[in-house]
Chain A
Amino acid sequence: MTIFSSDVTKPASTPAPPGFRKRFPLATLIAQRLGLSALLLVAVSILIFVGVEALPGDFASTYLGQAATPEAVANIRADLGLDKPVATRYVEWLSGALHGDFGMSWASHASVSQQIANRLGNSLFLAFAAAIIAVPLAVGLGMVAVLFRNRVPDRLINVVSLAAISLPEFFVGYLLILFFAVELGSVPFPATVYRGMPLFDRLEAIALPTATLVLVVLAHMLRMTRAAIISVMASPYMETAELKGLPSYLAILRHAVPNAIAPIINVVALNLAYLIVGVVVVEVVFVYPGMGQYMVDAVTVRDMPVVQACGLIFASVYILLNMMADIAAIIANPKLRHPR
């Protein structure tokens, strides 16, 4: 489920004294992960570079499109150094990036970091709004489903959430637009947010995309919550809790949930990552200026500095969220907190 399997026991880059590792297992783990992440990010950047190189056409020819003249193409190539060998260009980019300079977008001549800050802010805003509704809702509904296991509420929750996840996200989006924007006219469309937009307008604008995302990610987390709690329910201590007279909702809340938290957190982390980096379809449908659309535009014209920066951010989001999920799972589980 996570990028790193849990049997990574050897420190990759930070050799710690044996006592240190035993006394601060969490700190050791974070240090290990950070070291590995740096390597992983370099690997990702190589992959992206090679991938974009493998696509037919380079920036000069795709950017000018069918209107390209050989002179203009040659001029752009010379200007950007596209005539240099691939390896040279990669090393040049990497040394810039290591100094924190992601360069200028080839297409718009604007600073990549600045543009990304804007787009990433939009993506995080939408993801945060969706997560703050979807996560409590999914976990809550999951618990309700367990409480009424195999009865009407459980079935209802399952059917509705599975139906929502089975519909493609663009279709859910179109349905919401049709009813709430076109027929009822109660919600603004498109959901375009821009610099200097007042917060309330912003929240109103993202109502529909947020609802779509909630519907899309709900089922996954909900089902995992339900499954994890049910598997804990079979444990002897749950029987004890029941025998000592705890009402079943309290038994679930106090004893089952803390023990089922690790797999739930993992699923939540995956869905959070998806909400930030995987929602390009929703962005297109709602005309929302997020990271996904930005990267797709850049890939279309082979704008390498932008593609690289986006790729690294996406990879970092995944790595970071997975790391946080693992840390949270360790904190939640005393057995992992004090390994032998």
Chain B
Amino acid sequence: MSEKLDYLVQQAKAGGLDRRHFLRLAATSGLTVIAAEGLLASRAMAEEPPRKGGHLKLGLEGGASTDSLDPAKYSGSVSFTVGRTYGDTLVDSDPKTGTPLPSLAESWEPSADASVWTFKIRKDVRFHDDSSFTADDAVATLKRHSDTASQSGALGLLRSIKTIENRAGDLVITLHEGNADLPLILTDYHLVMQPNGGVDKPEAGIGTGPYKLVDYQPGVRITFEKNKDDWRSDRGHVDSVEIIVMNDATARIAAISSGQVHYISQIDPKTVSLLKRSPRVEILRTPGKGFYCFLMHCDTAPFDNNDLRLALKHAIDREAMLKQILGGYGSLGNDFPVNDAYALFPEGIEQRLYDPDKAAFHYKKSGHDGAIVLRTSDVAFPGAVDASVLFQQSAAKAGIKLEVKREPGDGYWTNVWNAKPFCASYWGGRPTQDLRYSTSYLSTAEWNDTRFKSEDFDKLLLAARSELDDDKRKALYRQMALMVRDGGGLILPVFNDYIGAASKTLKGYVHDIGNDISNGLIASRVWLEA
């Protein structure tokens, strides 16, 4: 099988096979789209040596003049990319499988119950200010983010940490309870290693990454130069990087089509077909973990009846939604919050489809009568109002009457989401399945936005968390997925792809399932053709 794949990759590189065709053939060899996509990218890198030099310009959405250089305060995709460009985390994640890879930590070892973790720290790394990176810096960084007085966005992730120590040059983390996912938690973009943890000067912008920060004008323009003493030789191919903050979608498209930038993020699916016409632009599409959804509160009438919930789950036309709301740039959801972009994804669960008969059957069984109010706003996700109307129409065919109520956008996340019993919503990805479920399906979770409370489920979640055997964990995640799918309050019609665009001179873009913008690592991975 691998011979066949090698042949396909070569064909693709020689230009005899376009990407789509390659993916289809690769699928016949038993590869998922994501794996094949990654294979193509990694092989392309291996075969074509990266060209060094040039000035890379990125036009990114999601920056503001209020952005801070303090990694603890990062939010929005510009800060995220900035942090990944000048800094490193202890652990990286594999762009194809999402499993942990060594970075500033060269290896790690858990105790048998996964509650004490020992990380070997690289010895040959220097910060941009020429000081050495040591285990003390790692300890100080993690302490700063996990301190109870911390204002860090990663505080929630690090809650299970009991102690962080430097034991003879190794970083040792002790947890309150076992967690097999700790290395993946340490890939979080807030946890950029800083000299002395950034305690003295959190906004210094000094890290160990492939580029040194030159000029930082938040919300406007951020520039970097190559770090000549980078500890890794396989990254940082261009000489300098410039990030221009472009929050206007049309401005980004104008900038890429006029050739003024090499890459733009966040393209509206509706405009992709127009942008494709431009001869110098290539559309980059990466499957993501984020999803568009409708949330029902399992403890509030009429949604406290599982038959009504099942009726609504069958009454939504997922394929129509994928086509009309996402323009095809996404994948179908199956009413549990995880897709194959997560490690240990439970394969083979039957795809739920639009079935008005089944919907009508469950609706009748539930004994409900009258209109059901669905609250929506385009703040929930782009096209949420249209999606709600589509839902209304497909439900009507099953004899279910939905009343679409449009809510004001300002305050939607405070007044409607997690407050009203039935509304449209969005969730971004989490590094692991454990964090995905812990965030909103644990009985005690603050953001249990479907009021899904099941003791059995909580037990499974905790068991999976400390289980070090991948096969056993996968089996547990499968059970959990089925519980949420068949008994929860989540209607998940589609996962959305990340859509960006690059000029044809940009090479080596890695489709990383971790997050958008090649998991923030675009500047470190790509190179420019002469």
Contacts and interface: CB of A to CB of B under 8 A. Distances in A.
A56 to B, nearest CB: 4
A188 B57 CA distance: 14
B217 A189 contact: no
A180 B157 CA distance: 48
A69 B149 contact: no
A190 B446 contact: no
**Which of B203, B220, B244 has most A Cβ within 10 Å?**
B220
Given A67-B75, A67-B153, A108 B248 contact: no
Contacts of A301: 64, 66
B415 A185 contact: no
A109 B259 contact: no
A37 interface: no
A251 B244 CA distance: 53
Contacts of B150: 71-72, 75
B260 A189 contact: yes
A246 B67 CA distance: 63
A56 B417 CA distance: 14
A56 B250 contact: no
Interface in A54-109: 55-57, 63-67, 69-72, 75-76, 79, 105, 107-109
Interface string B476-511: 000000000000000000000000000000000000
Contacts, number: 126
A181 B254 contact: yes
Contacts of B59: 190
Nearest to B203: A109
A192 B66 contact: no
Nearest to B447: A66
B503 to A, nearest CB: 13
Interface in B68-102: 68-70, 73, 75
B271 interface: no
Contacts of A185: 258-259
B77 to A, nearest CB: 12
A171 B73 CA distance: 36
Contact of B244 (A109, A181, A287): A287
B215 interface: yes
Interface in B179-221: 203, 215, 217-221
Contacts of A298: 65-66
B320 interface: no
Contact of B221 (A71, A182, A194): A194
B7 interface: no
Contacts of A181: 254, 258, 260
Given A285-B248, A287-B248, A303 B219 contact: no
A195 interface: yes
Contact of B251 (A70, A195, A285, A303): A285
A105 B66 contact: yes
Contacts of B148: 71
B166 interface: no
B40 interface: no
A79 B147 CA distance: 14
Given A65-B75, A79-B151, A194 B220 contact: yes
Contacts of B251: 177, 189-190, 284-287
| Main SS class of interface, B | loop
Contacts of B203: 108-109
B449 to A, nearest CB: 11
B410 A285 contact: no
A192 B219 contact: no
Given A67-B75, A181-B254, A303-B66, A195 B217 contact: yes
**Which of A64, A76, A188, A190 has most B Cβ within 10 Å?**
A190
Interface string B247-275: 11011001101111000000000000000
Contacts of A105: 66
A295 to B, nearest CB: 9
A289 interface: yes
B414 interface: yes
Contacts of A57: 411, 414
Interface string A104-134: 0101110000010011000000000000000
A248 interface: no
A289 B66 contact: no
Interface in B27-86: 59, 64-70, 73, 75
Contact of B65 (A177, A196, A293): A293
Given A182-B254, A190-B59, A194-B220, A71 B155 contact: yes
Interface of B: 59, 64-70, 73, 75, 148-153, 155-156, 203, 215, 217-221, 244-248, 250-251, 254-255, 257-260, 410-411, 413-415, 428, 446
Interface of A: 55-57, 63-67, 69-72, 75-76, 79, 105, 107-109, 115, 118-119, 174, 177-178, 181-182, 185, 188-190, 192, 194-196, 284-287, 289, 293-294, 297-298, 300-301, 303, 306
Given A189-B251, A190-B255, 9 more contacts: A63-B66, A69-B155, A72-B150, A75-B150, A109-B203, A181-B258, A194-B215, A287-B246, A301-B66
